[in-house]
Chains A and B, each alone.
Chain A
Amino acid sequence: MGLNSKSLWLGWTLFLAILLVIVCLFSLGVGAVHIPLQKVLVLLTRGRGTPGYTILFAIRLPRIILGLAVGGGLAIAGVVLQGMFRNPLVEPYTLGISGGAALGVAVNIVAGGPAGLGLFSLPVSGFLGALGIISLVYILGMRGGTVTLARLLLIGVMVSFIASALIMLIMAMTRTEDLHGIIFWIMGSLEEPDTSLIRAMLFISLGGLIVALFFSVDLNAFSLGEEEAFHLGVPVERIKKILFLLASFLTGCCVSLTGIIGFVGLVIPHLMRLLVGGDHRILLVTSFLAGAIFLILCDTLARVVIAPLELPVGVITGLVGGSIFIYALSRKGASF
């Protein structure tokens, strides 16, 4: 990796960072009330107190920041999991994490959650559900002190099925008004009234990126296979545990705030691998940026397609992400 690929790395990072800024500005302007770009810039600098300022800062900006944090976080979790499992079909949701969170939320809506949490009640129960499932998958996936990745994956998929079955069971026995709450949550939305939660999510997501970066060299070794990584001096068992917990924690946080937003963690790492190659040092950075861009764009679409009504963002990410992905794969004829 001489100078050439280093400047290539810098180029991609800059390009995506600039794109992210552009997408944020665009997304700020678009919505039920259209605000042209010049006006956005004027409002940003000296618009305090005007209705336009309120729309931008109280309504649209928090969503954009949440989109950035969750899009980036899910993409990081996807890169980490695909890297360590060496399996292109793994994503945060394959391992049952979303199923667990959804189950937690469904139970909360039907039976009532932890008392006295107010706004935090749903996120907390989602997070507890995710945590419960992760621990279950992890404990079942361990055997004699070592984690067998194939086993972990299979158990994740199975636990995921069981969780969805339980959710359907709950839904089948639920009153209509509760049913709507569960369905809406499962479909995913970036609407989050509490700004401190959004701020926390942003820190978690950026922190996740930094932690993952420090394991990017280990992930590179992992892409040669576990045994090869071991021979290169990577303490394989320890690193697997750390990375699994990191990805689970990131996903658990994202899911508990926004519900199930599929495809970001699956598609973005793939697309970035096609663009920048298999080195995780650059793959993590570009995936974070691209995940953020992708989710903010999808959310903007979700807000305007049938305005003033809103589509669940999970629908958009699935449709757009899936189509882009199939297109990219068939065009390049690329393999993992």
Chain B
Amino acid sequence: MVTSIMLEIKGLSCGYGKRVVLHGVSFQIKRGEFVGIIGPNGSGKTTLLRAINGLLPLTKGTILLEGRETHQIARRSLAQKVAVVTQSPEAAPPFSVEEFVLLGRIPHWGRFQLLETEGDLTIAEQAMVLTGIASLQKRRMGELSGGERQLAFLARALAQQPQLLLLDEPTAHLDIGHQVQIMDLLRQLNREQSLTIAVVLHDLTLAGLYCDRLILLSEGRLHRLGPPQAVLREEVIEEVYRTVVAVVATPLQAKTAIVPVPGGE
């Protein structure tokens, strides 16, 4: 059964032990959509990603991936469909870039498979070419700059050949050039390979520029959901983020930028 709904979340509550972080969140993501998840620190964005990928037990509600409950899907099969780019950890993995990207093929391996196939090598190669890090493949992960490392994480996720790609602040700590590089790449993947993308972003302007729809979380609840121009409004942001901003027009067609107002005057 092919459904146009990639991900459906119904009445989701979950958290860490007794501390409930998300309270009854519901929304849908359609196949081929590019969705941004925004909200203040601690509003539950990362928790939401973790719940979607099965890392956290659900207190209430269901998460359906292509109509099947994710908690019923075996880990390995889930990782064949959903890839996650987490906020890159500090410690560098003890691998070369190529070895690291090849780890993305693991979900597709048999239980007793120990060696990668020609197909795995080709797919990893393609992922590195697509992310522009093919020339770095023999370098150690520890030698990469922040931007290069983020691209390697993205390449690994692409090597999983997922249908849904989840990213947690992929542009954090990157300069504006690398930020745009990553976001352009995501848009290209979304448009050309119709990869469904859900990305947690702190930069509201970037979120508005690239995403089809935005999910705004506030204190663990869904505050607002819709196209950027409906979510990124001065009064909405001021209420949720408790700060004064100005939403200003940019020379780009129908795109706005969110500018903080110093001192809130």
Which A residues lie at the B interface, using CB under 8 A? 1-2, 86, 144, 213-214, 216-217, 220-221, 223-225, 227-228, 230-235, 273, 277-279, 281, 336
Contacts and interface: CB of A to CB of B under 8 A. Distances in A.
B35 interface: no
Contacts of A216: 114
B114 A230 contact: no
A199 B115 CA distance: 31
A225 B89 contact: yes
State which size class the interface on B falls in.
35 or more
A214 B86 contact: no
A2 B101 CA distance: 13
Given A220-B103, A231-B84, A277-B94, A2 B121 contact: yes
B55 A278 contact: no
B195 to A, nearest CB: 16
A232 B86 contact: no
Contacts of A144: 17
A232 B106 contact: yes
Given A232-B104, A234-B106, 4 more contacts: A1-B98, A223-B94, A227-B86, A231-B79
Contact of A233 (B80, B95, B102): B80
Nearest to A225: B89
Nearest to B120: A1
A229 to B, nearest CB: 9
A278 B53 CA distance: 27
Contacts of A235: 75-76
Interface in B149-163: 160
Given A223-B94, A278-B93, A230 B121 contact: no
Contacts of A228: 86, 89
A2 B93 CA distance: 19
> Which are the 3 A-B pairs with shortest beta-carbon distances?
A233-B79, A278-B94, A233-B107
A221 B106 contact: yes
Contact of B106 (A227, A233, A336): A233
Nearest to B108: A233
Interface string B45-60: 0000000011100000
B106 A1 contact: no
Contacts of A221: 103, 106
Interface string B114-127: 11100001000000
A336 B76 CA distance: 29
A217 B94 CA distance: 14
Contact of B114 (A223, A233, A277, A281): A281
A217 B109 contact: yes
B55 A224 contact: no
Interface string B85-113: 01001010111101100111011010111
Nearest to B81: A233
Contacts of A1: 98-99, 102, 116
B99 A230 contact: no
Nearest to A224: B93
Most buried by B among A230, A232, A235, A281: A232
A38 to B, nearest CB: 41
17 contacts: A1-B98, A1-B99, A2-B98, A213-B114, A217-B106, A221-B106, A223-B95, A224-B103, A227-B55, A231-B53, A231-B83, A232-B104, A232-B106, A232-B107, A278-B94, A279-B95, A336-B94
A127 B126 CA distance: 51
B95 A278 contact: yes
Nearest to B153: A228
A278 B142 CA distance: 13
Contacts of B114: 213-214, 216-217, 281
B144 interface: no
A144 B17 CA distance: 9
Contacts of A278: 93-95
B78 interface: yes
Contacts of B109: 217
B156 to A, nearest CB: 8
A1 B53 CA distance: 28
A263 to B, nearest CB: 22
Nearest to A1: B99
A233 B78 contact: yes
Most buried by B among A224, A228, A234, A336: A224
Contacts of B93: 223-224, 278
B94 A231 contact: no
A224 B79 CA distance: 16
A301 B103 CA distance: 42
Contacts of A233: 75-80, 106-107
Nearest to B50: A227
A239 to B, nearest CB: 10
